Chain A
Amino acid sequence: MVEPDHHHFDTRALHAGQRPDPVTGSRAVPIYQTTSYVFDSVDHAAGLFNLEVSGHLYSRISNPTVAVLEERLASLEGGVGAVCTSSGQAALHLAMVTILNAGDHVVASRNIYGGTHNMLSLTMPRFGVTTTFVDPRDPKAFAAAIQEDTRLVFAETLGNPGIEVLDIAAIAEVAHAAGLPLVVDSTFATPYLIRPIDHGADIVIHSVTKFLGGHGVAIGGVVVDGGRFDWAANGKFPTLSEPYDGYHGITFTEEFGTAALSMRARAEGLRDFGGCMSPTNAFYLLQGVETLPVRMARHVENTLRVVEMLDAHEAVTWISHPSHPSHPDHALATRLYPKGAGAILSFGIEGGREAGRRFIEAVELASHLANVGDAKTLVIHPGSTTHQQMSREDLAAAGISEELVRLSVGLEDPDDICADLSRALRVSQRA
């Protein structure tokens, strides 16, 4: 049987979305640091503004450097297109406002990034969008929470911080049976470890800041449109399936079909909310994406070493990473993530909150900060930082105990990472 004629993942991570600049021959993606673009004619300008022809007109809507990153991420995820945003949270917001209206309802995993939990539980209700949170391991809970006014299902492929492994196909089946799209945040996994669209997800969002960018130098997000969801099938998504006065009565599903969501997200969402990515940030993030396969393989390799070390350490009371046999999703992770289930793990320290504080203050190589997915090893105490706005009850429901420490394993020599953590663990046990 003949093979498909396309390049493999590692090659596309370096090349997709770009050809050498035809004018200068520049091999690297140039930074098009410009706000705007000269029109060929009045007719050309009118055509761009009216979605008659494609091209760049203003960098809030699109930019050539950003477009390379967008097309590259769409290629890596297997989507029809992508829209980059100023941050991962802006990506989630863009996806939501493109699909939802006041009065709509969301069913979401309860084991998600604290900022996302805040957005869904505290902020979106002010705009008439409510959310029911459910156990991400229970497809029946998703099904039971779906209401007449539910318009999307949301979860993280690898939960933050507990690394709950989402059975994407099972949750997609629940969502699709109700005529709803499944939106996943796959920041912790990256397309190197899993491509959610292949498993049935409809929209994939990322904080590109994390492993995709990989070096902790630029903030960014992306919405990748899978293009397989039928937005016109049931009348639940009027922003996409009904005429829009913003472009003289255009119906995005009718005119753009599989690209309806990404076209509306850009044409309306970036135009009106303006959460665009800067070209310089896109350039920085592209440098990271180019080495994603190499870095992620090393991230995972180092993580396995760290898990092994922590597992044997007497000060560690428990460890949560899907590679560990004690993790509830170990079997699922083995099936869905043959290259490894990421480089973020959490663990508990003997002595609770105080011991955790001593541990974090004792690490020297690992950095204590609010980020993950850097080339450098990072550590944080979510209960007092990233998830601090969540109530005690919500924290408990999300499996975030007060002693939980989250670790993002970097690319340093694994012996050095293990030595640093081991020493800090010893310090944590001194009363």
Chain B
Amino acid sequence: MRFDVAGRSVLAATGAVPIDRPEVAGAPIVVLVHGAGMDRTVWSQQTRWLAHHGTRAVAVDLPGHGGSDGPVLGSIFELATWISEVSDALGGAIHVVGHSMGAFIGLEAAAEFPNKISSLVLMGLGAAMPVHPDLQTAADVDDPLAADLMAGWMHGPDQKFGTHPTPGMSMTGTARAIIETSPSGVLAEDLKLCAEYDGAIAAAAALTCQATLVLGRLDRMTPRKSAQPLVEALGHANVVELATSGHAPMSEEPEAVRAALADHLFATAD
């Protein structure tokens, strides 16, 4: 579906279930937020399932990503503000499910706009997200190497060979295509935002809503141990560790992520 936020068109996947359908009126609104250089389709293993299991699922393309109007926004705080405006556009408080950069955005939004964010499910994040200088260098000049590096690093070792949960699909091939087809410069800007953001611990400490962290034990981009300061700052967070996931558990262990979402959402639904 398309909807406007601050006068700019946003593309979102809703599992092909219109969120204004009478049958889903009042159901929790779940906004899924992708990571650096990605788009809404990283949630394809969750969006349609959520839409048919008692929620209004809205997997958004961030500004300037996928099919959403640009420009890209210049900081995690600006993106968090944009998420609060998504909440306004959708007509109520939202549960945010965020991956990597999307997790930072959700965290910052929940800290800054607590009345607009009902809860958080965050995956593929650490207290900080330093970016390998070679990745940043390649992204800065739109070198396809950046997509290659990301596609290789973001999955656990099992995914070097497969197998993809969807028959016939290639996980690294899909990740590479999403990054390669993102508009010029978008990945480079996203990576800079991730590297520059230093507010995760403060945001976590300020959080008042329920949070679940879904962490891959084989995550090489944001290693499990890098999330520990966040876990401690959150205090009350539910932590789900996935044994075979790397940085992209929503693709690598989709069933476990769906289960974590169900546990979280149906315990915290408004």
Chain A interface residues toward B at CB < 8 A? 1-2, 4-7, 12, 15-19, 46-47, 50-56, 61-64, 66-68, 70-72, 74-75, 78-84, 226-228, 230, 232, 243, 247-251, 254-259, 262-263, 266
Contact = CB atoms under 8 A, between A and B. Distances in A.
Contacts of B152: 4-6
Interface stretch (B97-105, B164-172, B207-215): B164-172
A2 B134 contact: yes
A75 B162 contact: yes
A53 B162 contact: no
B25 interface: no
Nearest to A229: B181
A71 B162 contact: yes
Nearest to A266: B168
B92 interface: no
B168 A81 contact: yes
A75 B52 contact: no
Interface in B86-120: none
A82 B48 contact: no
A84 B172 CA distance: 19
Contacts, number: 167
By size class, the interface of chain B is 35 or more
A251 B11 CA distance: 12
A226 B173 CA distance: 9
Contact of A248 (B16, B49, B163, B173): B16
B41 interface: yes
Interface in B160-191: 160-170, 172-174, 176-178, 180-181
A330 B160 CA distance: 37
A250 B145 CA distance: 34
Interface of B: 1, 11, 13, 15-17, 39-41, 44-45, 47-49, 51-53, 66-67, 132, 134-135, 137-138, 145, 148-149, 151-153, 158, 160-170, 172-174, 176-178, 180-181, 254-255, 258
Contacts of A71: 162-164, 168-170
Given A50-B52, A53-B254, A74-B170, A254 B11 contact: yes
Contacts of A51: 48
B44 A19 contact: no
A51 B51 CA distance: 11
B258 A6 contact: no
Contact of B66 (A247, A257, A259): A257
The 10 closest A-B pairs by CB, nearest first: A257-B41, A5-B152, A62-B167, A227-B177, A70-B168, A4-B148, A81-B169, A67-B167, A250-B16, A54-B166
Among B39, B52, B169, B180: residue with most chain A CB under 10 A: B169
A220 B233 CA distance: 56
A254 B163 contact: no
B172 to A, nearest CB: 6
B48 A255 contact: yes
Given A61-B167, A257-B44, 8 more contacts: A1-B145, A7-B160, A46-B52, A75-B172, A80-B173, A80-B177, A254-B67, A258-B177
